[in-house]
Structure 1
Amino acid sequence: MATIRSYRPDDLPALYDICLTTGAAGQDASAQYSDPELIGHLYAAPYAVLQPDLVLVAEDTLGVAGYIVGTYDSNGFAERLEREWWPALRQRYAKPSTALTQSDRQRIADIQTPRSNPPAIVARYPAHIHMNLRSRLRGQGVGTALLERWVDKARAAGVAGIHLGASVSNSGGVGFWRRSGFAPLQTIGSTVWMGMALTD
């Protein structure tokens, strides 16, 4: 059984790797990228670097194999990313290699011009999360344990609600979020946006 614990800075490489190897609707996305860090630059690392107190990891005897990251204030976090996270990455990828894959190019475009979460959803559910588990931890209650710990902290902090975006093609993930109390709110392209209220 995995242990749930607070994030440590030396966990960052594991977060990058888990983000990549679960990045294709829960499956391994390694073959889609020539730069293995690109997806993690968007969906894992900035939370660990900028808000490490809101990151929890699941660790078993083989190492860190799952995480939940997020922020209580999506709009404020987006502003902080503009100040503290995107500038260095935009410089790093200003002259991208010609060997990039289509997925690499899409992530670089997202770094250059970040996508915004739906404003009406953010207004009602200001927090958001990302959670990923390696396959060896799935089906054991680890995801539920990570989520419950994060939700308890958010509720104690007075957060009104949490939202997330899940791939429409990830039926297992969408099913998990529904069972965990998240309601589908809006589908945009290949993403279903879901929310859970924490206050009445």
Structure 2
Amino acid sequence: MVTIRGYRPDDLPALYDICLTTGASGQDATALHSDRDLIGQLYAAPYGVLEPEQVLLAEDDLGVAGYIVGTFDTDGFAAREERDWWPALRQRYAEPSPALTAADRQRIAAIRTPERNPADIVAAYPAHIHMNLRSRLRGQGVGTMLLQRWVSMAEAAGVKGIHLGANASNVGGVAFWQRSGFVPLQTIGRTVWMGMKLKD
């Protein structure tokens, strides 16, 4: 039995852990990182802290096992991160430990200089999302349930479109998004940018 529910502050550790254990194109990225928090600092935790009302969780008998996080206003969220999220992390990682892996260092570089989503895509599809599920929830329609709930919230808020970036090597993930109504817009490096229109 899987329940879709809103976010609570005590769910933050689950966001970090799910992000890490699905962070290699849907597979476990734990072996790539000596700092277990780094990937979550970029792709999950800031949403729980800064815009918890835009976070939905999938929970089964074993606990929280999936999430969809995002924002209705990508540019506004980036400004909030710059003001309220990145400064403390830049201080935390100002003197990187020699024990850090190459993947850790790549994430720290992204904290220092966050990548901006393509401006033309943001203009047409101002909301964006990230979604991850533990393997035990996959193939049961849970991702579809999370997405549909999030899309309904976005529509109620008057959002005109949603975008996301998927790793091109995550073939199953890209196929899921296309089945769910997202259209590939452009590929930059390893990222396939996709969008879904909600209204004209």
Which TM-score band applies after superposition, normalised by the shorter structure?
over 0.9
Q: Report how many aligned residue pairs link the two structures.
A: 200
Partner of 1:187: 187
Q: What is the aligned-residue identity percentage?
A: 76
Shift of 1:52: 0.3
Partner of 2:175: 175
Q: Deviations over 1:45-92 (max 9, x none)?
A: 000000000000000000000000000000000000000000000000
CA distance in 2, matches of 1:148, 1:56: 11
Q: Deviations over 1:150-185 (max 9, x none)?
A: 000000100010000000000000000000000000
Partner of 1:199: 199
Q: Which runs of 5+ in 1 are unaligned?
A: none
Whichever residue aligns with residue 4 of structure 2, its letter is I
After superposition, residues 1-200 of structure 1 pair within 5 angstroms as 1-200=1-200
Q: Deviations over 1:10-35 (max 9, x none)?
A: 11101100000000000000000000
How big is the alpha-carbon RMSD for the aligned residues of Structure 1 and Structure 2? 0.4
CA distance in 1, matches of 2:130, 2:21: 14
Secondary structure of 1:57's counterpart equals strand
Whichever residue aligns with residue 41 of structure 2, its letter is H
Whichever residue aligns with residue 173 of structure 1, its letter is G
Shift of 1:130: 0.2
Secondary structure of 1:96's counterpart equals coil
CA distance in 2, matches of 1:85, 1:197: 29
Secondary structure of 1:187's counterpart equals strand
CA distance in 2, matches of 1:2, 1:106: 35
Q: TM-score when scaled to structure 1?
A: 0.99
Q: Deviations over 1:126-154 (max 9, x none)?
A: 00000000000000000000000000000
Q: TM-score when scaled to structure 2?
A: 0.99
Any runs of at least 4 consecutive aligned residues in structure 1 with deviations exceeding 3 A, and if so which?
none
